Structure 1
Amino acid sequence: MADGHDSGRGATDPPDGDPLERYFRPRPGGRAAAGDGDDIEGVTIEGMPAPRVPVEGPRGPRRPGRGLSPRAAMSARRQKRFLTLTGAASVFVLLTSGGAWAFQNYVTGMLDKVSVDGLGRGKDAPKGAMTILVAGVDRRDGLTREQQRAAKLGHQPGERSDTMMLVHVSRDHDKVSIVNLPRDSYVTIPAHKSNGSEGAKGAQIPSRPGKLTWAYQFGGPDLTVNTIKRATGVSIDHYVEVNFYGFVHMVDALGGVDVCTEQAVDDPKSGLKLPPGKSHVDGLKALAYSRARYTLADGSDLGRIDRQQQFMASMMKQALSTKTLGDPVKSTRFLNAALKSLRVDPKLADNLPKLADQMKNLSTDNLTFAKIPLSNPGANVVLWNTPTPQSVVQWDEGRARDLFTRIRRDQPVAEQPEKPSAKPTNPAEKPGDQLTVPPGDISVRVLNAIGTPGLATKAGGQLRRLGFGVTVVPGVARRGLQTTQIQYGPGKADSAKTLAAAIPGARLKEIPSLGTRVQVLVGANWDGVRRVEVKGGSPTGSQSPKPGIETGTATQKLCG
């Protein structure tokens, strides 16, 4: 790979024309490189020195060690709760690392540090708020040869960033917003010097368009930070890098986590096999669940982002459970596994103990995920490294700019619901009213509320063909619902009315807690959809409002 061209694609590679794509996909059969016969040294979680913890035995509780006063021990327990939370998040490179912050030297000694150019607060950044770029790096460090073969990871050399997130911590450090950046996002990669992947090492490479995921491949953390700053306009204060496969050990340290799928999964590329409904998976299956793409949901990278968010929420719930926090052996193993997976910038490493203390009460309710608004999730463009069109994700520039402006100004990413108007808000009261919001301007979540396997996926596909923006929520939200229900937040009555016109027999229900969201609970009476016609807009002739930014808290992402 001297210049970015594919040197030999296999017949099983996805036909999206990207010559770099083979570096990111699970490799069928996990082919090993010739001459690579020795096992890779694995991470020994139990072998790392752990802080002293009180353990009750047959003779009763032991006395606290000399190194900790009762006040310090209590502080350690409070801070450990926060570290457990953020350690869970780092499974998919969320916020920061996990660790027992009462043992500051122990934690900072385990953290690997990396210097990154381009970090720093913007001139107009609110005091106290911070934005962290978290990059999940496609490395196999710490996995044994057997684990790599079981996960079908292959042995391609080098490092790639397969997951990227902007994590914004509010000024008061009581809320966190997370924006997933699709790896195939169509961005401009700034000018830089070649690291040998784009020609002769040290050669000047001009600014040119490409996929976001290429930035790390061609220039590591420095080029990644500069590319994202240019694409979003957001200043990046800190950098966290996570060994993407380190969470295998983290999941195993927790005893596994729950995931949900609406239908049975048999993915030959990742090796994932799951029955429909809820499953309790170990680290290797969790890795396959997060990487699987073509046999889950709509087969896109965007569907994989949904699963990663749901998985993070599930892992946070498991890590914060009494069963974990009350088990000093389990929690220590988990925190050790998290620490071993991380590289952070030196300034963040120094400030983490203070930040941890300030955020010790953070919960899944205070963590909000947001999706970048898109104009074309499956565009085909010709890029510099091949004459064949490649699949890229194009952002909706205007709405994406609104999202990143909120982050720069330390504002909530979730749109505030509009104040209800004086006229009736129930769309069912006037069935003869004209529809004013076209399907293309409506984003809707589809949930299975009857329990029939595959019903939500079927319903979501039918709505998607009508033009609605659809996200199918894995698992079963509830069972036994006979009548399909359309639920909507304040200010979304017109959108709900269009949706009701497309779903015969559905009932409408306004739920204030939904905010700007609209969702369909698919019941037993689901009988397909029908086309709708939107005649004109509002009485004033103004255009229909664009759909809002899709958001959801970690609590809402939990497996049903």
Structure 2
Amino acid sequence: MLRGFEGSSTSGSVLGGGLNAPDGATDILLIGNDSRTDAQGNPLPPEVLEKLGASDDEGGDLTDAMILVRIPNDGKSASAISFPRDTLVDLDMGMGETKLTETLNAGKAEKRAEMEESGETDDAKLEEESQDAGRQLLVQTLEKMSGVTIDHFAEVNLLGFYEVTNAVGGVEVCLNEPTQDDASGADFQAGRQTVQGTDALAFVRQRKGLVNELERGVRQQVFMTGLSQKILSSGTLANPAKLSALIDSIQKSVTLDEDLAGNILEFAEQMQGVAGGDVEFVGAPVHLVGESGEEDVTLNIPEMHQFAEDLLLPPAERQQKEQQREAAEQARAQTTVSVYNASGVSGLAANVLDELSTQGFTAGGSENAEATNSVVYYAPGQQQAGQDLATALGGLPAEESPNLTAGSAEVYLGEDYQGPGAQSFAPQQGVQLDGAQQGPGALQGPSPAPMQSTDAESERFTADGIPCVN
């Protein structure tokens, strides 16, 4: 178990550890926790809660902000990926899909129940070890989502956020319009302004008045842009007095892994090599699925892995790959796919169609078909679209069909199909499949809810400027 500051702790068994990591980057997970406790888990007194603009009957261990910072081994730049708190994940705990923000709580509750069942009654030990388990589950979950080995961990609660923003003398932000929200305490004018302490908390925590959770994520990206600019560009790291105040606030209120905690000065010195304009904040490439205002926030794992890997590329090469990715996404959206089930597995076609929808293809419909091997058919002249669809389904064979019109494709699923959408199904006997036995001219399966891409690649903020946001 790794110890942090002031008796705080986090499990180190899942941390990569060390600088100059083999994957080409040092990766730090930054967590903003909505808990009403200090770094040691002690409840904050009423007078402190009042100072923070928070009450003691809300919050808990919900992670409001999750940011993965990638620092290449050359130490000359950094990229930070923010993950929306409402992103749906499966924690493999028999809960089905749940929101990412609930991960820490889920791991903590499971560990506490396990310890209590084994007879543990020491409340301090229960709290410490269950909190560790929650952090461990969160780290493991984000590693699976990103494909990145996390080397360091830093958790900031409400008090820590308050202390750090005061230590740096506030952060400059900019709003397009004035905003007010009694729930978070937000009360800001339009334009550029400096926020710290309680106001800084209100700026990043406001939810009411914003279109959706993604806009809140943009707020957090913008704030972190300003914070990094303040620390890196204004000489904080090179000024002994300012650096001492910053480290003091961190020691009092931020939970770090043992390695980072023991080498924070060394790490600060290394970060001086990161110029203010070379810190880039981006949103994870999530997708919104469903009706406006009630969307689910989803993430395509292979896409996310590639996104995180590409952040280590030189800027020109990365820009070229992003352009290629945008073109591929547009091509998928312009391809309407119909799926035919010849597998003998009930519901498989509809499930595969849902899977393709989450990958950006436009859903046509689903129904049954006569026995056949799995294959993808594409329209004449659209071989690239057909190959992309075949790859998305695990590498199916693809053939051109003169019967299809431009922008359409068909997928036939045989007994041999083992690709995406098939893993949770097993053949059953004597059940109705995806539709009545009909020819391919009258698809009847319902189309899944529309999907929106957030175009996370376009939401890039660098520390050399403060963009105005909602």
> TM range, normalised to the smaller chain?
0.5 to 0.7
Are residue 130 (structure 1) and residue 50 (structure 2) matched?
A: no
| 1:314 Cα offset (Å) | 1.6
Distance across 1 between alignment mates of 2:238 and 2:70: 30
Can you give the 5+ residue segments of structure 1 that lack an aligned partner in the other structure? Answer: 1-107, 192-205, 381-388, 420-435, 442-535, 538-545
Are residue 304 (structure 1) and residue 216 (structure 2) matched?
A: yes
Distance across 2 between alignment mates of 1:127 and 1:326: 29
State the TM-score, normalizing by the size of structure 2: 0.56
256-265 vs 343-352, greater mean Cα deviation: 343-352
Aligned residue in 2 for 1:483:
none
Aligned residue in 2 for 1:400:
304
- The alpha-carbon distance between structure 1 residues 260 and 353, as it changes in their structure 2 partners (threshold 3 A), is closer
Query: What letter is aligned with 1:338?
Result: I
Can you give the 5+ residue segments of structure 2 that lack an aligned partner in the other structure? Answer: 39-43, 108-133, 322-328, 335-405, 408-452
- The alpha-carbon distance between structure 1 residues 151 and 241, as it changes in their structure 2 partners (threshold 3 A), is closer
Aligned residue in 2 for 1:208:
96
- Please tell me whether the aligned partners of residues 186 and 203 of structure 2 are also in contact (alpha carbons under 8 angstroms): yes
- The alpha-carbon distance between structure 1 residues 393 and 319, as it changes in their structure 2 partners (threshold 3 A), is same
- The alpha-carbon distance between structure 1 residues 406 and 153, as it changes in their structure 2 partners (threshold 3 A), is same
Aligned residue in 1 for 2:61:
159
Distance across 2 between alignment mates of 1:173 and 1:323: 17
Aligned residue in 2 for 1:360:
272
| 1:170 Cα offset (Å) | 0.8
- Please tell me whether the aligned partners of residues 89 and 97 of structure 2 are also in contact (alpha carbons under 8 angstroms): yes
Task: Trace 1:20-35 onto structure 2 (pairs within 5 A).
Answer: none
- Aligned CA RMSD, in angstroms, stands at 3.9
Query: What letter is aligned with 2:67?
Result: M
Task: Trace 1:155-554 onto structure 2 (pairs within 5 A).
Answer: 155-156=56-57, 158-191=60-93, 206=94, 208-219=96-107, 220-296=134-210, 298=211, 300-320=212-232, 322=234, 329-376=241-288, 392-406=296-310, 410-411=312-313, 416-418=318-320, 549-550=457-458, 552-554=460-462
- Please tell me whether the aligned partners of residues 119 and 238 of structure 1 are also in contact (alpha carbons under 8 angstroms): yes
| 1:129 Cα offset (Å) | 2.4
Aligned residue in 2 for 1:148:
49
- Please tell me whether the aligned partners of residues 157 and 253 of structure 2 are also in contact (alpha carbons under 8 angstroms): yes
- Please tell me whether the aligned partners of residues 179 and 372 of structure 1 are also in contact (alpha carbons under 8 angstroms): yes
| 1:284 Cα offset (Å) | 0.5
Aligned-residue identity in percent? 30
Please give the per-residue CA displacement for 1:489-547, whole angstroms capped at 9, x wherever unaligned: xxxxxxxxxxxxxxxxxxxxxxxxxxxxxxxxxxxxxxxxxxxxxxx89xxxxxxxx96
Secondary structure, aligned partner of 2:457? coil
Distance across 2 between alignment mates of 1:370 and 1:323: 24
Secondary structure, aligned partner of 1:159? coil
Distance across 1 between alignment mates of 2:288 and 2:315: 21
| 1:330 Cα offset (Å) | 4.9
- Please tell me whether the aligned partners of residues 88 and 99 of structure 2 are also in contact (alpha carbons under 8 angstroms): yes
- The alpha-carbon distance between structure 1 residues 412 and 163, as it changes in their structure 2 partners (threshold 3 A), is farther
- The alpha-carbon distance between structure 1 residues 414 and 114, as it changes in their structure 2 partners (threshold 3 A), is farther
Distance across 2 between alignment mates of 1:121 and 1:321: 27
| 1:398 Cα offset (Å) | 4.8
- Please tell me whether the aligned partners of residues 5 and 256 of structure 2 are also in contact (alpha carbons under 8 angstroms): no
| 1:115 Cα offset (Å) | 2.5
Choose from 119, 128, 149 the match for 2:15: 119
- The alpha-carbon distance between structure 1 residues 240 and 229, as it changes in their structure 2 partners (threshold 3 A), is same
Please give the per-residue CA displacement for 1:254-279, whole angstroms capped at 9, x wherever unaligned: 33332211111111211211111122
Distance across 2 between alignment mates of 1:322 and 1:234: 31
Query: What letter is aligned with 1:215?
Result: T
- Please tell me whether the aligned partners of residues 179 and 371 of structure 1 are also in contact (alpha carbons under 8 angstroms): yes
State the TM-score, normalizing by the size of structure 1: 0.48
Query: What letter is aligned with 1:154?
Result: S
| 1:177 Cα offset (Å) | 1.6
Aligned residue in 1 for 2:338:
none
- Please tell me whether the aligned partners of residues 186 and 393 of structure 1 are also in contact (alpha carbons under 8 angstroms): yes
Secondary structure, aligned partner of 1:549? helix
Please give the per-residue CA displacement for 1:178-212, whole angstroms capped at 9, x wherever unaligned: 11111111111033xxxxxxxxxxxxxx3632111
Paired residues in the alignment total: 309
- Please tell me whether the aligned partners of residues 81 and 282 of structure 2 are also in contact (alpha carbons under 8 angstroms): yes
- The alpha-carbon distance between structure 1 residues 253 and 241, as it changes in their structure 2 partners (threshold 3 A), is closer
| 1:146 Cα offset (Å) | 4.1
